[in-house]
Amino acid sequence: MGAPRLACPTMSSPSPCPCGASADYTRCCGRYLDEGLPAPTAEALMRSRYTAYTQGREDYLQATWHPAHRPESLNLDEDAATKWLGLAIKACCSVDATHATVEFVARYKIGGRAYRLHETSRFALEDGHWLYTDGDIHPK
């Protein structure tokens, strides 16, 4: 028997997408965050925005936020202690051809303490791009 073959060090295995979808990052949210492709649905945009939070990608978050609702800054550097743990999509609803909602739960930790954000987000389709407008936080 010969020596075991080692994987080529220049080839990396696909990494799972932080959004929790079954596809790897490059075939999932990476298409939108890194390649600049528009998310085809409100759910895909929601997932990619969650992934952007996990990566501290304020540029992407700002670009996908509706201008009428966009904050001046997100201060993600101040949130560096946030560790995002997972995303669960609860419901996706088309309101009409250009508006949709996505209900989700995002889990995260700050300083070792666990939290969950349960929100129903609203999205608008403008010029072929889905944009996050705002959302309603669900009480615990």
As its CATH architecture, domain 25-137 has Roll (3.10)
Domain boundaries along the sequence of the chain: 25-137
- Reported as a single tens digit per residue, the pLDDT across 56-107 is 999 999 999 999 999 998 888 766 789 999 999 999 999 999 999 999 999 9
Residue 83 corresponds to which tokens in the numbers above? 């560790």
- Reported as a single tens digit per residue, the pLDDT across 98-115 is 999 999 999 999 989 999
* Predicted pLDDT at 79: 63
Is the confidence at residue 29, as pLDDT, over 90? yes
